[in-house]
Amino acid sequence: MTIDQTPIIANLENLSIGIAWCLAWGDKRESQINLAVLQQMRLALKDGKQVPEETQSLVEQVEKLQNIPKDYFLEQISQIQKDYPDLW
């Protein structure tokens, strides 16, 4: 039996869009970037198109995050467990 991964892939795409949106918004009450530009970014990411120039570096950051090998964090956690067992 095979598992349909379509929903998982869609959720990962939505997660990527959400992370890019949060980075673009920033930590203030109001967005750092014009809301219309954020909407353009969201639609471009959803449709696989070019994002607005104002958001390109943020999208690149998200891509770098996604390209970190899956085992990287597991290895780091294992090392922290070994180095700091009293804190773990």
> 34-79: per-residue pLDDT in tens?
999 999 999 999 999 999 999 999 999 998 988 888 777 777 788 8
Full-model pTM? 0.68
Question: What confidence score (pLDDT) does residue 1 get?
Answer: 46
> Is the confidence at residue 81, as pLDDT, over 50?
yes
Domain ranges across the chain: 6-83
Question: What confidence score (pLDDT) does residue 67 get?
Answer: 85
Average pLDDT for 82-88: 79
Place of tokens 């294992």: 78
Cβ–Cβ < 8 Å for 59, 13: no
- What distance in Å separates the CA atoms of residue 86 and residue 12, rounded to the nearest whole number? 35
